[in-house]
């Protein structure tokens, strides 16, 4: 029978600052230091009289979105609501194409950037191939894949769009690649971490039954991480829709292009019509992805 634990010393008090409080305090101090270093006083956020009038006019237009164009348009121009629906459809097409490429990149690089397929007992016994993977091949491929992922994620999709726009002009494939590259890197990083953190019970059972390393990885680890991977993919698709809309400011025919044109002409009611179309689109995708998650993932 083990000895009972001694009672706590009443004279000894617990440390008053927990690790969470320390982290929160550090972040707060860092934020204040960054704010002071940027020399950004709050007084600069108050608009002048002219800017205040423009802001008032802009936000007042939110209560009266345009149901028709605010200026004459050429004959044959679609109705503004039809224009908004067409721009929303093109936004979804851009996002879907980009996510299709990003998923392929994310799954491939996610596999190469996880150590679950070459290190540890899950990868098999102590044969020569196993030793080669553990000592040379696996770490080399892992490091190279991690480096590629870092490069892909380090450049924002807007910067990729600027690079492709300068190199190839107003090219649809360039817009898709501008979203797919950073999203593919992000998916690869998250997918690899989800596989690393997946429960190992099924994998151990398959390993004990004599399954090969590939079978252990595909049938033991990936299915345990698949629900989280699918849920995160749905979230990234919502983000891709917003990124595709923003690419419209570069001239691509998405909702952002319609918003930019209306704003340049000071047609604020039209701006809010397109903004509400974007909000409705994101809400519809959120409802659709939520229904799919509840049906197939949960």
Q: Tell me the per-residue pLDDT of 228-242, one tens digit each, with 9 for 90 and over.
A: 898 899 999 999 999
- Dist. CA 133–CA 135, nearest whole Å: 6
- pLDDT value at residue 233: 92
Ranges of the chain whose pLDDT falls below 50: 1
User: pTM value?
Assistant: 0.81
- pLDDT value at residue 245: 93
- pLDDT value at residue 198: 83
- Dist. CA 245–CA 95, nearest whole Å: 9
The one-character DSSP state at 70 is: S
User: Which pair of tokens denotes residue 9?
Assistant: 């010393």
- pLDDT value at residue 80: 92
Q: Tell me the per-residue pLDDT of 60-70, one tens digit each, with 9 for 90 and over.
A: 999 999 999 88
The one-character DSSP state at 13 is: P
* Domain spans, the chain: 80-297
- Dist. CA 9–CA 48, nearest whole Å: 63
- For helices 222-246 and 255-264, give the axis angle rounded to 10 degrees: 30
CA dihedral 213, 214, 216, 221 (to 10 degrees): 130
User: Which pair of tokens denotes residue 228?
Assistant: 């989280």
Superfamily (CATH) of domain 80-297: MetI-like (1.10.3720.10)
- pLDDT value at residue 269: 94
Burial of 238 from C-beta contacts in 10 A (0-12 / 13-18 / 19+): middle
């Amino acid at each position: 029978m083990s000895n009972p634990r001694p009672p706590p010393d009443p004279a000894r008090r617990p440390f008053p600052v927990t690790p969470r409080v320390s982290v929160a305090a550090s972040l707060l101090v860092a934020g204040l230091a960054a704010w002071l270093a940027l020399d950004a006083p709050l007084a600069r956020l108050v608009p002048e009289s002219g800017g205040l009038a423009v802001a008032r006019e802009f936000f007042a237009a939110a209560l009266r979105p345009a149901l028709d164009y605010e200026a004459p348009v050429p004959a044959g121009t679609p109705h503004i609501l039809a224009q908004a629906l067409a721009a929303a459809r093109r936004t979804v097409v851009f996002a879907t194409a980009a996510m299709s490429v990003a998923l392929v990149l994310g799954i491939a690089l996610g596999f190469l950037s996880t150590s679950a397929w070459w290190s540890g007992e899950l990868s098999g016994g102590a044969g020569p191939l196993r030793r080669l993977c553990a000592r040379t091949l696996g770490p080399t491929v892992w490091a190279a894949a991690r480096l590629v992922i870092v490069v892909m994620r380090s450049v924002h999709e807007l910067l990729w769009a600027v690079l492709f726009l300068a190199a190839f002009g107003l090219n649809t494939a360039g817009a898709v690649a501008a979203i797919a590259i950073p999203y593919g890197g992000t998916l690869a990083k998250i997918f690899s971490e989800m596989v690393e953190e997946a429960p190992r019970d099924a994998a151990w059972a398959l390993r004990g039954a004599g399954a090969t390393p590939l079978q252990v990885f595909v049938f033991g680890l990936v299915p345990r991480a698949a629900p989280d991977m699918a849920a995160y993919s749905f979230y990234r698709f919502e983000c891709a829709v917003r990124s595709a809309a923003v690419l419209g400011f570069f001239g691509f025919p998405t909702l952002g292009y319609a918003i930019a044109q209306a704003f340049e002409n000071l047609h604020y009611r039209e701006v809010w019509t397109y903004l509400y179309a974007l909000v409705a689109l994101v809400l519809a995708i959120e409802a659709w992805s939520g229904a799919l998650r509840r049906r197939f993932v949960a």
